[in-house]
Amino acid sequence: MKKIVVVSALFLGISTFAQTKQDKIKELISLNGTFTISKEVKKDFISEYKKRYSHVPDLAWKPIEEKIN
């Protein structure tokens, strides 16, 4: 009986720590500002390509912007 309780507690503890680690990583990324920086980089990326390839119409850029965002 003791073995069952110990093994159950062990598996419960392992799953709890795994979820907590993922949550901590997400929190670190959001506190770091990585999400906002990545959005800015995407905008800059598209604007630079629009400047470089100015002969491409705006209708062609809309699907590209949607895929990147």
- Is a pLDDT exceeding 80 seen at residue 18? no
pLDDT band (50, 70, 90) for residue 52: very high
- Is it the case that residue 13 has pLDDT exceeding 90? no
pTM of the entire structure?
A: 0.49
**Reduced DSSP (H G I as helix, E B as strand, rest coil) percent helix, strand, coil of the chain, to 5:** 90, 0, 10
Mean predicted confidence (pLDDT) in 30-39: 84
Residues above pLDDT 90, as percent of the chain: 16
Phi, psi of 15 (to 5 degrees): -65, -35
- Mean pLDDT over residues 44-64, rounded? 90
